[in-house]
Structure 1
Amino acid sequence: MTTLPSTIELTIDDGLATLTLSRPERKNALTVQMFAELLDALLHLRRNPDVRAVLLTGAGDAFCSGGDVNNMGGSVEATNVRASMVENNRLLSAMADFDKPLIAAVDGVAFGAGFSLALAADFVIASERARFCMAFARVGLGPDLGASFTLPRVVGLQRAKELLYSAREVGAQEALALGIALEVHPVERFRARAEALARSMANMSTAAFFMTKRLLGRTFENDLAAQLDAEAAAQAVLLGSSYTRDASARFARKEAPRYQWPQPSPVEVQ
């Protein structure tokens, strides 16, 4: 039996895992194999106590061009497509439930499902040449990989409709203005900035990070009473944690906290 070459690369360095989509000859287009390998990697990283943050990026000059169009078309059975999508969606569920910071470093194209993949990360740091596009309508498809859920929550419902129906490209600066990208940096610096952010967030309380992520994930479904109750339950757990005790002791001793958001210099902010 022939073993196909891996479609991703995984490295771990001092608590930071870097997941690289590695099909540069196809602009890192997604395949069934890549979905499976990404899911396996995330599940492995979630179980690895030495990993505290993850950087998701693409090889070459692209993040991800979406689903591999070469594998589309022809005669298909609806039941087979649905079964395949359910399997692929396990990756998005794993990203939504991932309990460690996940930063997407986007260079070049993030089209179609590649755009959806970036939106599923906790933050997107983009290069100046990044381009985003909900390209599904160009090939007669609707959004997938959670885009119909995540995009309206990022840009608002009306703008999400426009981006999906027009299938137009969004440049880096517009992505920043719309809230798709948290920051935009020159090509030669964006990857280092994304890594600095990931390494900084690795020093957060893992429990506080994940509980905050879950609270934010429910904020558009819960009413105020339910959200207040969820906050109270989270604080009851976190206030007794060793991380909080240590942070309080550091504060009393006027020592620097373990966790600080890494501030870029003013000339780096786009």
Structure 2
Amino acid sequence: MQAASKLYQAIQYVVADNVATLTLNRPAQRNALDQVMRAELGEVVAAIRRDRGIKVLVIQGAGGAFCAGGDISTMMSDTAADGARDRMLNLQIIIADLLNLDRPVIAVVDGPAYGAGVGLALTADLLLASPRARFCLSFLRLGAVPDCGVFYTLPRIVGLQRAKELAFSTREFGAEEARKMGIVFEIHAESQVHQRAQALAASMSQLPLTALSLTKRLFNASLNSDLNTMLDLEAAGQGIARSTAYHGEAAARFMQKHPPLYQWPAAPEAE
């Protein structure tokens, strides 16, 4: 797959070898979400959903920050309730598309992730961080409520009581605490964390798209389902997955004691 060539104002977007890398690119504003970035994110995420050649998405920020949240200067231009709600509904389409994307999403948080930046990071299936990563649910400081899906994602990761504490306190917490709470998957040095994300993405791009998509969909469905429903979905999914050419080849290689088609990459020593 060739690299994407379109130029954007507030993001960078590259597709190569079945991996899409989306970089928030307003470093002078710590990659805060303004209207231009929101529109470009919407365009790119919609394109990713349609492009079955993309197997993995990596989301990261430029200039030593992930995302400082919403751009406050643009919020002040229209404080009417209906206008603010419309802006949020448009952003929520992007968040929902990322959460429902039937391919792996990796986020790299190298620097601050504040407010909506936390919500954007939590759309990822795997979140990698550097030691300088900082997280903060800063919404209440500004008289706002958490957004970008935080009410849905955060309690499912850290539990309801901890999610409330993080929102009520508006305190900053680092990569190691985030890892202990289950938010961060791995911590790597600033010089390694982006390379680690690309190594994971390159490896997972070799997974069978049908079985991988079903696996992610079923894990997500399990959060709002019951045992019997999940067992039925599991059986249906297995029937589909085992009918694919990938399964036939993988099973044959196993029986013939050949190397497997897929290997999870070894991690460098974590910080």
**Same fold, judged at TM 0.5 (above):** yes
What is the alpha-carbon distance in structure 2 between the residues aligned to residue 145 and residue 108 of structure 1?
19
Pairing partner for 1:253 from 256, 260, 264: 256
Query: What is the aligned partner in structure 1 of residue 192 from structure 2?
Result: 189
Structure 1 residues 5, 263: closer, same or farther in 2, change over 3 A?
closer
Partner of 2:51: 48
Contact preservation (8 Å) 1:185, 1:269: yes
- Check 1:101–1:77 CA distance in 2 against 1; reply closer, same or farther (3 A cut): same
1:125 aligns with 2:128: yes
**Residue range with higher mean Cα deviation, 112-121 or 244-253:** 244-253
Report what 2:265 is aligned to: 262
Cα separation, 2, equivalents of 1:60 and 1:122 = 23
CA distance in 1 between partners of 2:102 and 2:173 (Å): 30
Corresponding position of 2:240: 237
Distance in 2 separating the partners of 1:39 and 1:243:
32
> C-alpha distance in 1, partners of 2:169/2:26?
27
Q: Specify the alignment match of 1:109 in structure 2.
A: 112
C-alpha distance after superposition, 1:21-67 (max 9, x if no partner)? 00001000001221221121122223334322111101101010000
Q: Say if 2:181 is the partner of 1:178.
A: yes
Aligned to 1:11: 14
Q: Which residue of 1 aligns with 2:231?
A: 228
Per-residue Cα deviation, 1:127-153 (whole angstroms, up to 9, x for no partner): 110001111111111110100100001
The answer for the alignment partner of 2:160 in structure 1 is 157
Identity %: 44
Cα distance change on mapping 1:80 and 1:109 into 2, 3 Å: same
Taking the aligned partners of 1:75 and 1:146, their CA distance within structure 2 comes to 22
- Normalised to the residue count of structure 1, the TM-score between the two structures is 0.94
Preserved contact between residue 17 and residue 55 of structure 1 (Cα < 8 Å): yes
| Deviation for aligned residue 1:72 | 2.5
Report how far residue 220 of structure 1 moved.
Answer: 2.4
The Cα offsets for residues 50-97 of structure 1, whole Å up to 9 and x where unpaired, read as 322111101101010000011224662212211211111110111022
Q: Measure the CA separation in 1 of the matches of 2:231 and 2:254.
A: 27
Unpaired segments of 5 or more residues in structure 2?
Answer: 1-6
Give the root-mean-square deviation of aligned CA atoms: 1.5
The counterpart of 1:209, out of the listed 191, 205, 212, is 212
Distance in 1 (alpha carbons) for counterparts of 2:146 and 2:162: 14
TM-score by length of 2: 0.94
CA distance in 2, matches of 1:93, 1:150: 11
- How far does residue 13 in structure 1 lie from its aligned partner after superposition? 2.0
